[in-house]
Amino acid sequence: MRLISFDVFRTLGLPDVQVIKPEHFLRHRDDLRDADWVLFPEYWQLNALVHGLKCRVFPSVASYRIGHDKIEMTRAFQTVAPHNTPWTLIEANGPRQREEIWDRMLLPFVAKRPRASMGEGVWLIENQADWQKYCDGAEVLYTQEYLPIDRDIRVVVAGDRVVTAYWRHQADQGFYNNIARGGWADHSAVPSAATDLALKVARTLDVNHAGFDIAMVGSVPYLLEFNRLFGNQGVNHAGLLRQAIFDYLAGELEPRDPPTPVTPVPPWPIAV
């Protein structure tokens, strides 16, 4: 395979990879056109590579576009897995909308900034002062019900399979489970309902490189979000992730006539 990467660290160990700095991509137009895969471009490169140079990119276009904005992501989740998406209100930031959301949401609730990661841009709203402070700095109002959990599950999907899944326990200050915010990883077994849901959603949305964050409330898994460029702190088998990516890239280039069977996934988990 002819591979070009724009992220040397995420493609370490893959064979025969040519690395290009993102800002130099126009100097390598012919190489990019001839490549079998272009790996981990920056978001701002996507249209030029896919529509201009007709490159095949990894992660997928859906991984980029859905993963770029929590509003778009939540609406996609509501479309394909409504029973496994927390109750969410998204409105323009105006006086009427602020009042309506405040009247409808039960305290405490969660407010988010649409474009943030690693636990940044997420607030627990416990009183009207918290709500006012959030609204004063928000372009769009994005609120979700608070789920009573002290840990969540990170499910890592690469290519067409789950590479690993682990618990993320709450940080000492509470609320945040992100390892970047003081949470910690626990590699004990996770419920299959969480991994089944993540893989089903990934396949349905054509997302092929993502760290899904899933909350378990009793036996019901809830989709919180996914990160296209997830942290590797909790991924204790980097070789498995690299192999999953390579297998997927190679497999997608093989002829598929007749189509290659896909491992079946159980039906959607639903609320009980």
Report the CATH number that the domain containing residue 206 is assigned in CATH.
3.30.470.20
Note whether residue 261 is domain-resident.
no
Q: In this predicted structure, what is the pLDDT of residue 272? A: 46
CB 214 within 8 A of CB 223: yes
Which amino acid belongs to residue 196? D
Taking the CB of residue 107, how many other CB atoms lie within 10 A of it? 13
Which amino acid belongs to residue 149? I
Q: pLDDT, tens digit, for every residue of 92-149?
A: 999 999 999 999 999 999 999 988 765 578 999 999 999 999 999 999 999 999 999 9
Q: What is the pTM of this model?
A: 0.87
Residue burial 208-230, b: 16+ Cβ < 10 Å; e: rest: bbbbbbbbbeeebbbbbbbbbbb
Residue 125 sits at the vertex; the CA angle it makes with 119 and 127, to the nearest 5 degrees, is: 155
Question: Quick one: 239 and 173 in the same domain?
Answer: yes
Question: Quick one: 97 and 191 in the same domain?
Answer: no
Q: How far is residue 168's CA from residue 162's CA, in Å, rounded to a whole number?
A: 17
- Counting residues of the chain whose pLDDT is more than 90, the rounded percentage is 76
Note whether residue 230 is domain-resident.
yes
Beta-bridged to residue 28, according to DSSP, are none
pLDDT band at 5 (very low <50, low <70, confident <90, very high): very high
Last residue of a domain, one of 38, 58, 78: 58
Q: What are phi and psi of 223, to 5 degrees?
A: -80, 120
Could you tell me the residue range of the domain that residue 138 belongs to?
87-145
Question: Quick one: 123 and 159 in the same domain?
Answer: no
Question: Quick one: 158 and 233 in the same domain?
Answer: yes
Question: Quick one: 138 and 209 in the same domain?
Answer: no
The number of domains in the chain is 3
264 Cβ contact partners less than 8 Å away, ≥ 6 residues apart: none
Q: What are phi and psi of 256, to 5 degrees?
A: -125, 60
H or E element at residue 132: helix 128-137
Question: Quick one: 181 and 127 in the same domain?
Answer: no
Question: Quick one: 118 and 207 in the same domain?
Answer: no
Q: How far is residue 123's CA from residue 197's CA, in Å, rounded to a whole number?
A: 26
> What's the DSSP call for residue 198?
H
Q: Is the pLDDT of residue 257 over 80?
A: no
Beta strands 109-112 and 220-227, pairing class: unpaired
Binning the chain into helix, strand and coil, the percentages to the nearest 5 are 35, 25, 40
Q: How far is residue 245's CA from residue 247's CA, in Å, rounded to a whole number?
A: 6
Q: pLDDT, tens digit, for every residue of 159-207?
A: 999 999 999 987 665 555 555 555 667 889 999 999 999 999 999 999 9
Question: Quick one: 183 and 125 in the same domain?
Answer: no
CB 35 within 8 A of CB 55: yes
CATH number, domain of 99, equals 3.30.1490.20
Q: Is the pLDDT of residue 265 over 80?
A: no
Last residue of a domain, one of 145, 174, 192: 145
Taking every pair of Cα atoms in the chain, the longest distance, rounded to a whole number of angstroms, is 61
Q: How far is residue 245's CA from residue 28's CA, in Å, rounded to a whole number?
A: 24
Note whether residue 264 is domain-resident.
no
Note whether residue 267 is domain-resident.
no
Q: How far is residue 69's CA from residue 167's CA, in Å, rounded to a whole number?
A: 24
Q: How far is residue 263's CA from residue 35's CA, in Å, rounded to a whole number?
A: 29
Note whether residue 70 is domain-resident.
no
Note whether residue 130 is domain-resident.
yes
Check residues 53 and 119 and name the one with the higher pLDDT: 53
Q: pLDDT, tens digit, for every residue of 77-89?
A: 999 999 999 999 9
Note whether residue 23 is domain-resident.
yes
CB 57 within 8 A of CB 37: yes
Question: Quick one: 174 and 189 in the same domain?
Answer: yes
Note whether residue 30 is domain-resident.
yes
Question: Quick one: 160 and 237 in the same domain?
Answer: yes
Question: Quick one: 111 and 187 in the same domain?
Answer: no
Question: Quick one: 41 and 97 in the same domain?
Answer: no
